[in-house]
Structures are given as structure tokens and as C-alpha cells.
């Protein structure tokens, strides 16, 4: 869903990308700085409870995920290294967000069920991209699945912001449960896809 907005994000980010490039800022620097900011915001603000402030900061810095790509294309620096760095650091950012929620639920949030669901999302969120990467490393594809990273991130941040403005925490619990289920289904879909490719190659 959110991936369809890539063209719009490119147009919005292009002026800022040009300014940063003119000042000598590299796309890699933006990738690293954005990830560090997301990690700090998630682990610093989520556990004690200002969920709205944490979410707004995370959402703002998460935009660098589009900005660094625009900068790389504008500068003609798109490379395998940039793609690897971006994908690797994305895992740190995602893990920090769900870890922050786990700490909040088991602390001030006082909800072990939701904390367990956030932990499940944390674990499954690392397995989903691993399944694809491992398949591609073996010369196969596994880009299927109902739970894309952008959609998962948008869902959890929106729900967290709603709880942050005073809505019941059950909203976030439900969203985390759905995300955990969707992520598990995505893992199974990718495993089934690879299994079919293996069978086809052996026949």
C-alpha cells in the first residue's frame, strides 16, 4: 500500500535531497543518522510512556528511509552497498520500535498479553526479511507475503499514536495481534514459495 506512494515521496523529498547533496552530505550519512535517531527515540521515549512524542519523532526520522534513496539517485550513487546498508539498518530501526513497546507494555503499560504480541512482532519481523534474503542467496525468490515492512510500520505507529492521545491501549493490542498473524502468514508463504521452486528444479 505505502509503496505506491513512492513517486509522491520522491517529489516531496527531491528539493531537500538536492540541498543536502550541495552541502556535501552523503546518502549513507543520512541512512545512518536516521536509523540512530529512530533507535534512540524508540528506546528512550517509548518505555517511560510518552507514546505520541516518540511516535512523531520516529515517523519524522523514518522519512529518511525515502530521503537517502532519492539522494543516491540524484547523485548517481545508487549501489549494492547502499541497498545493503539501508536494508540492514532498517532491521535495527524496526527492532527498536517493537523493543520499546515491549518495555512499555511490561512496565508502565502493565499488559503482558500486548507485551507478548509486541515481542512476537519483533521476532517475526526479523524472520520475514531473513526468509527472503536466504532464498535469494540460494538463487531463488521469496518476495511474496501479505505483511510488507512499510505497511507493518505504518500500522504500529498509527496505533501507538492513537493510544498516545488517550485512546484505549486495546487498539494497539489488536493491531499487534494482527501484525503478528500477518507476519507469521508471510513467513509461511515465503517458505511455501521456496519449497515449490525447489520441487520444480528437482523435477
Give the active site residues.
90
With contact defined as beta carbons under 8 Å apart, do 126 and 96 qualify?
no
Q: Which three cell numbers stand for residue 69?
A: 534513496
Distances (CA, A) of 111 to 44, 102, 115, 118, 202: 19, 9, 6, 11, 49
Residue among 28, 29, 168, 153 nearest 96 (CA): 153
Q: Which three cell numbers stand for residue 131?
A: 526468509
Contacts of residue 47, defined as CB under 8 A and 6 or more positions apart, other chains included, come to 100, 103, 104, 107, 108
Nearest-angstrom CA–CA distance, 158 and 172: 9
Nearest-angstrom CA–CA distance, 50 and 165: 9
Amino acid at each position: 500500500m505505502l509503496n505506491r506512494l513512492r513517486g509522491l515521496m520522491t517529489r516531496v523529498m527531491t528539493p531537500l535531497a538536492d540541498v543536502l547533496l550541495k552541502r556535501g552530505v552523503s546518502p549513507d550519512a543520512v541512512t545512518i543518522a536516521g536509523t540512530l535517531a529512530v533507535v534512540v527515540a524508540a528506546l528512550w521515549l517509548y518505555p517511560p510512556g510518552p507514546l505520541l512524542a516518540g511516535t512523531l519523532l520516529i515517523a519524522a526520522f523514518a522519512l529518511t528511509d525515502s530521503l537517502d534513496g532519492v539522494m543516491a539517485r540524484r547523485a548517481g550513487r545508487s549501489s549494492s552497498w547502499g541497498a545493503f546498508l539501508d536494508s540492514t539498518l532498517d532491521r535495527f530501526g524496526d527492532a527498536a520500535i517493537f523493543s520499546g513497546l515491549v518495555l512499555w507494555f511490561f512496565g508502565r503499560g502493565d499488559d503482558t498479553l500486548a507485551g507478548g504480541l509486541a515481542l512476537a512482532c519483533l521476532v517475526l519481523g526479523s524472520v520475514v526479511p531473513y526468509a527472503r534474503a536466504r532464498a535469494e542467496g540460494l538463487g531463488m525468490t521469496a518476495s511474496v507475503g501479505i505483511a510488507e515492512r512499510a505497511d507493518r510500520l505504518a500500522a504500529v505507529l498509527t496505533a501507538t499514536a492513537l493510544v498516545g492521545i488517550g485512546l484505549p491501549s486495546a487498539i494497539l493490542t489488536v493491531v499487534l495481534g494482527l501484525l503478528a498473524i500477518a507476519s507469521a502468514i508471510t513467513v509461511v508463504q515465503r517458505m511455501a514459495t521456496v519449497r515449490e521452486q525447489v520441487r520444480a528444479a528437482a523435477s
